[in-house]
Amino acid sequence: AQLLAQRPDVFAAQQEVAAASGDVGSAQAAKYPSLGLSGSVGLAALRSGGVNTNGTTWSIGPVAVTLSIFDGGQRNAVVDLASVNYEAAVSNYRAKVRGAVKEVEEALLSLQSAADRLVDAAVATEGYSAAFVASEARFKSGLGSLSDLEDTRRTALAAKTALLNLERERSAAWVALYRALGGGWSINGNEIMAKTL
């Protein structure tokens, strides 16, 4: 869960939820009366005929009270809109998390499948290589034909090619897992790749 929270899309959706929550709080606070007091504080200096006069000017202005008695339901509508936006942000966040979990699960399945098939392909490659060595020895001793030797060589090369393709597929699955976990972001200064490997 900590790794998924580091994904840029999940992190952005989480921030949208926090912002929408703040908007709801601001809209609800705007429904209540507010009191405002304005004023100014300044420093005034007067120079006349070589005589300096310094003084501090204080001014406290009018008091303003805002009441939401006759707004025609506008502030309630703003609260409702903010609540709807919050629910939409939460829904988007949940969708992003579900999508992230799906990507991670698919990458893990691909990685496991490639690793399982890689073991079998390595055993098959060793067997076909041994068969080629035996076919080559038969050919050199005059007991085998050239077509049998070339068929065995082709089969051994096909097995090696399949093994290399599976190794490439496994590497691609590691990259997909790294991307699905939001690769490049760090947790407590440690790279995510180091944690997954």
pLDDT in tens, 150-180: 899 899 999 999 999 999 999 888 888 888 8
8 A C-beta contact, residue 38 and residue 61: yes
Give me the pLDDT at residue 38, please.
64
For the chain, the C-alpha Rg in angstroms (whole number) is 37
Residue 90, both tokens = 């939460």
29, HSE (Cβ side, Cα atoms, 13 Å):
8
Q: pTM of whole model > 0.75?
A: no
Residue pLDDT, tens place only, 53-93: 554 545 555 666 666 666 777 888 888 888 999 999 999 99
> Residue 56 is which amino acid?
T
